[in-house]
Amino acid sequence: MKRARVAVYGNVHEAVEHDGSLLLDDGRQVEKTSVVWLPPIEAQTIFVLGLNYQDHASEIAVKRPSEPLVFLKGPNALIGHDAQTKRPTGIENMHYECELAVIIARGGRDIKKEEAYTYVKGYSIANDYTVRDYLENYYRPNLRVKNRDTLTPIGPWLVPSQWVENPMDLTLKTYVNGKLKQNGTTNDMIFDIPSLISYLSSFMTLNENDVILTGTPKGTVPVYDGDEIVTEIEGIGALKNTIVGESTFHQQTFF
């Protein structure tokens, strides 16, 4: 069943979907609108794939990579479903990126492709916003392009791997203010999930709750203050997020 992490009643709870609402780990049942949604797992290392869909690489006029283009993201960037993402003042090109998030189940090193799926705990949705104004190199994005606070909503659900028959054949869609803007499928990935797990584990140990963000298809457009973005993946769910201006996050003094 779909799993989530939420804040309600003054505490953080594990929860599952039940009769259209949420069943908390202490047995209480609450409405989905009554909680604060958190990232569905406490993420460890977050791996991010650049240019992993051929159509997206073509869209931004760069060559298909010959090996996975991977960089790391800090957990500070992650926020939950129905949260707000800060849009920096004075930028022009901030783009959403609907991505299938792969959650690792257990530690492993030198994992063979044919065994890779046994290391997958489940799947979620990530919206890995990119501030392209700061981009210096498509092949190795610099820190402030991908690691800004609130830049990566993830969730709402962790869907266990056994519930997803073929993660390499899922439809991805993004809606901006209710209008479909991005439409692709995971079977267009250049490097599939087993290849990515095998590649990463060939030089470093993967651990439980590591996250692999697998890239995005074509169809990204700029987003602006007040826009509501819904990223949706077949069989995984729909992740909603709102863009807010930097002035919303005004400096506060605490006593």
| pTM as predicted | 0.94
pLDDT at 135: 81
Backbone φ and ψ of 159, nearest 5° = -100, 115
Tokens of 85: 């993402």
Nearest to 48 by CA among 151, 175, 164, 134: 151
Q: What is the dihedral of CA 219, 165, 5, 196, to 10 degrees?
A: -60
pLDDT at 60: 59
Whether residue 152 contacts residue 128, with contact meaning beta carbons closer than 8 Å, is answered with: yes
Nearest to 229 by CA among 124, 81, 55: 81
Candidate CATH numbers 3.40.605.10, 2.30.30.370, 3.40.630.10, 3.20.20.70; the one for domain 1-38: 2.30.30.370
Whether residue 7 contacts residue 19, with contact meaning beta carbons closer than 8 Å, is answered with: no
pLDDT at 59: 60
Give the torsion sign (CA, 173, 188, 128, 111).
Answer: positive
Per-residue pLDDT of the chain (255 residues; tens, 9 = 90+): 899 999 999 999 999 999 999 999 999 999 999 999 999 999 999 999 988 998 655 565 567 788 999 999 999 999 999 999 999 999 999 999 999 999 999 999 999 999 999 999 999 999 999 998 888 766 666 778 888 999 999 999 999 999 999 999 999 999 999 999 999 999 999 999 999 999 999 999 999 999 999 999 999 999 999 999 999 999 999 999 999 998 887 765 555
Q: Where are the domains of the chain?
A: 1-38, 39-249
Nearest to 131 by CA among 118, 121, 141, 119: 141
Question: What's the fold here for domain 39-249?
Answer: Fumarylacetoacetate hydrolase; domain 2 (3.90.850)
Distance between CA 55 and CA 61 in Å, rounded? 10
Tokens of 113: 């492709």
Question: Cα 247 to chain center, whole Å?
Answer: 25
Q: What angle do CA 98, 101, 105 make, to 5 degrees?
A: 175
The strand ranges marked E within 62-194 are 69-73, 78-79, 83-87, 94-95, 98-104, 120-127, 130-131, 152-160, 171-176, 179-185
